[in-house]
Chain A
Amino acid sequence: MKVTFAHMGNLYITVKALLEDLGVEVVVPPMPSKRTLSIGSRHSPEFACLPLKVNIGNYIEALELGADTIAMAGGVGPCRFGLYGEVQREILKGLGYEFDMVIIDPPQGRLRRVLQQVGRLVGRNSVGRYLRAVRLAWAKMTAVDELEKLAQRVRPFESRRGEASAALERALRLVDEASSIAGVKGALEDGREALLDVKAPGGGAHSAPRIGVVGEVYVVLEPFVNFDVERRLGEMGVLVERSIYIGDWVREHVFKDLLRLRKGRRPYDLAKPYLCHFVGGHGIETVGHTVEYAHRRFDGVIQLAPFTCMPEIVAQDVLPSVSRDMGIPVMTLIFDEHSSDAGVLTRLEAFVDLVERSRSRRDAM
């Protein structure tokens, strides 16, 4: 059995560690590319959202490399993601691929069913082995998040353009290659030092504009589909913070769900005057985090969403009111297979300009 899964940013480092440590052979799909997107959108429903299309591309490229099993998360609605698995299976079977698809549903407090689904994937393992695998994967996930956050903080102050991203990439590779928790710790330590080294002498003395990135989890986390918006902004001298990091997401959606803990209410409470009900996906988080960034006196917020994403459309609909009431510039970027590099870059530059100007106006007052 050779298991594959779809890409979402650096999530592959964690998933790969988890599966391999449980003795599963893993085929990581090639990093998403133009080819991935073009074969994905060729075989997907025209009006499906972008993640489905890129997933299809990932799967086809991995199947070509010999994968025979696809692991995928399920869902219970109301966002379309919950039906991805079935539709993707139909599409791929229709193309003649032979494979097994294992859909792991959200636990909703039913641990046993999840374990059965996971068991189908990894076979029998001792509890100790599970714990060890989860601990290693967890360490990697935490390290990835920390390195990404650090890169965001130093990027606007780097002495040579692209240095922070290069250091981040090297550090992530070391984390990926580490086979023990001690190894992960070492890689994290080295990465931290390398990233701090890229700061120009005196860098950080001037203050950079701060922009919060909110929106749909896949587009926010996957640099290929968002045209590397985070790096782009950083290299324009902007301090970026995202509303979602993989670790937070897993803690919130997998573990709290598994243990039936009460989920954090904060984004919900903050979103209240504008959006008073969950709308699936991350719609309410998008609104809540925008309010939060305004409270924290960020200089702007960028919402990222796939074209026709239902929860994000609701959020997008109310964001102008948030922006008006709280005086924070908000821009929405919507991505599909027709999005272009130049188009995204132009809009980013225009937005950063706007943010800088409103900042200097504010400072002058």
Chain B
Amino acid sequence: MGEVVGIPRALLYYHYYPMWKVFFESLGASVVTSGETTRAVLDAGARVAVDEACLPIKVFHGHVLALAGNCDYVFVPRLVSVERRAFICPKFMGLPDMVRCNCPGIPNLIDSCVNLSKSTRGYVRAVYSAGRVFTGNTLRILAAHTKAKAALATYTRYLESGMTPDEALALMGMTNSRDASARGGVAAASSPLGAARNPGKGQDGVAIGLVGHPYVVYDPFVSMGVIRRLREMGAIVVTSDMVPASTIESEASRFPRRVFWTLGRRLLGAGFYFLGSGAVHGCLHMRAFACGPESLIGEILEREAARHRDVPFATITVDEHTGEAGVLTRLEAFFDVVTRRKKR
């Protein structure tokens, strides 16, 4: 029985989990994740993090605490940049330091630093430093990384085909059985593979473009189940991860300055696409309170939306005090507007 690596189910878990899981498992470790976000997880996180931190950071702290005692290591990478000339948000750069200061008594962190903003050399070092925890054999680390990248490619393809992370993970056999049985059906019904070229419209029903950070919109607790609820109302939900990367890039480049946050640029590109291409009937922006990048990205999107009055646009801000009823009411109202506009 190898050592156990805990991966918090928060932040970029939603983008990279299959890669991380395959990597550590190929090196002989076993991987556990924290469960879904719950009120208790959030409360625990909010207690230890500074008040001013944004909701997703508090949630992340909660997940780290939930893992304590269940694993030998917690994987908290320092994700500075995943592409040239761009960054994740500043808080990701200090995340391991914040976690270490705020959560005493947690297992050792694996805090490899991924910084591709200037060159890709650091990436190799990051992979190696994470792998070295389990083996000194460079070839084994490289082999594990190759397998991990393949898993990530499959996962990304599933997302682009219209699945949510939960559905893609279920299809890849990466969720525990309870999750898989609960969500497999939805995956088969509402996200046919191959729809990637034309997400949303073209099928019956109302298509809604959902703009928001993955760790907001895909976390059923944080987002108050926005995707499930919209689907229950009969909408086809298209998130920014379902829009092909090339479309995102070309849409985002319409903004006069290159947006230097990788995630912010994705949101902006997806938002521009939803508003301007006629691919969806409505565009919903869901953001977390106190999210720095989104305070500006949201402003840009609102101004763009004002130029495209044919596509209804709404913003919902969530924080740790948000009530479910309030969000549901707003979702229903938005869905009504979009449906009525579509009928006309």
* Residues of chain A having any CB pair with chain B under 8 Å: 45-49, 74, 76-80, 82-83, 85-87, 90-91, 94, 103, 274-281, 283, 307-311, 313-318, 320-321, 334
Across the interface, do A283 and B292 meet the contact criterion of CB distance under 8 Å?
no
List, in ascending order, chain A residues with CB within 8 A of B300's CB.
Answer: 86-87, 90
A308 to B91, CA, bound (A): 11
Q: Is B86 an interface residue (CB 8 A)?
A: yes
List, in ascending order, chain B residues with CB within 8 A of A317's CB.
Answer: 49-50, 53, 94, 97-98, 101-102
Partner of B299, one of A48, A310, A313: A48
Count of residues in B whose CB is under 8 Å from the partner chain: 39
List, in ascending order, chain B residues with CB within 8 A of A318's CB.
Answer: 94, 97-98, 101
A317 to B95, CA, bound (A): 10
A47-B295, A49-B292, A277-B80 are known contacts; what are 9 more A-B pairs with Cβ within 8 Å? A45-B299, A78-B87, A78-B90, A83-B257, A83-B259, A83-B296, A103-B257, A276-B97, A314-B98
Across the interface, do B90 and A310 meet the contact criterion of CB distance under 8 Å?
yes
9 contacts between A and B (CB under 8 A): A47-B289, A47-B294, A49-B295, A77-B86, A77-B261, A279-B93, A309-B292, A314-B90, A317-B102
Bitwise interface map of B from 75 to 117 toward A, beta carbon under 8 Å scored 1, else 0: 0001010000111111101100110011000000000010000
List, in ascending order, chain B residues with CB within 8 A of A76's CB.
Answer: 85, 260
Across the interface, do B50 and A277 meet the contact criterion of CB distance under 8 Å?
no
Q: Is B276 an interface residue (CB 8 A)?
A: no
Across the interface, do B90 and A45 meet the contact criterion of CB distance under 8 Å?
no
List, in ascending order, chain A residues with CB within 8 A of B49's CB.
Answer: 317
Q: Which residue of B lies closest to A311 (CB)?
A: B90
Q: Is B255 an interface residue (CB 8 A)?
A: yes
Across the interface, do B257 and A85 meet the contact criterion of CB distance under 8 Å?
yes
Q: Which of B284-343 contact A (CB under 8 A)?
A: 289-296, 298-300, 303
List, in ascending order, chain A residues with CB within 8 A of B204's CB.
Answer: none
List, in ascending order, chain B residues with CB within 8 A of A315's CB.
Answer: 94
Q: Which of B231-270 contact A (CB under 8 A)?
A: 255-257, 259-261
List, in ascending order, chain B residues with CB within 8 A of A313's CB.
Answer: 50, 52-53, 91
Q: Which residue of A lies closest to B97 (CB)?
A: A275
Q: Which residue of A lies closest to B94 (CB)?
A: A314
Q: Which residue of A lies closest to B289 (CB)?
A: A47
Which of B102, B256, B295 has its CB near the most chain A CB atoms (within 10 A)? Answer: B295
List, in ascending order, chain A residues with CB within 8 A of B292's CB.
Answer: 49, 80, 308-310
List, in ascending order, chain A residues with CB within 8 A of B259's CB.
Answer: 83
Question: Smallest CB–CB gap between A323 and chain B, Å?
Answer: 11
Across the interface, do A87 and B90 meet the contact criterion of CB distance under 8 Å?
no
Question: Smallest CB–CB gap between B101 and chain A, Å?
Answer: 4
* Residues of chain B having any CB pair with chain A under 8 Å: 49-50, 52-54, 78, 80, 85-91, 93-94, 97-98, 101-102, 113, 255-257, 259-261, 289-296, 298-300, 303
A19 to B300, CA, bound (A): 31
Q: Which residue of A lies closest to B259 (CB)?
A: A83
Which of A45, A310, A320 has its CB near the most chain B CB atoms (within 10 A)? Answer: A310
Q: Take A274-B101, A317-B50 as given contacts and tell me if A280 and B87 are in contact as well, using a CB distance cutoff of 8 Å.
A: yes
A85 to B255, CA, bound (A): 12
A311 to B293, CA, bound (A): 12
A311 to B92, CA, bound (A): 10
Across the interface, do A308 and B295 meet the contact criterion of CB distance under 8 Å?
yes
For the complex of A and B, the 8 pairs showing the least CB-CB separation, nearest first, are: A77-B260, A314-B94, A78-B87, A47-B295, A45-B299, A310-B90, A280-B90, A310-B292
Across the interface, do B303 and A279 meet the contact criterion of CB distance under 8 Å?
no
Across the interface, do A87 and B91 meet the contact criterion of CB distance under 8 Å?
no
Partner of A283, one of B87, B90, B296: B90
Across the interface, do A47 and B290 meet the contact criterion of CB distance under 8 Å?
yes
Q: Which residue of A lies closest to B302 (CB)?
A: A45
List, in ascending order, chain A residues with CB within 8 A of B87's CB.
Answer: 77-78, 280
A313 to B293, CA, bound (A): 14
A103 to B91, CA, bound (A): 26
Partner of A277, one of B53, B93, B256, B291: B93
A317 to B103, CA, bound (A): 11
Q: Take A78-B261, A308-B290, A317-B102 as given contacts and tell me if A275 and B52 are in contact as well, using a CB distance cutoff of 8 Å.
A: no
Q: Take A48-B296, A308-B292 as given contacts and tell me if A314 and B260 are in contact as well, using a CB distance cutoff of 8 Å.
A: no
Partner of B295, one of A80, A277, A279, A281: A80
List, in ascending order, chain A residues with CB within 8 A of B97's CB.
Answer: 274-277, 314, 317-318
A42 to B64, CA, bound (A): 39
Partner of B91, one of A45, A46, A91, A310: A310
Which of B53, B80, B94, B300 has its CB near the most chain A CB atoms (within 10 A)? Answer: B94
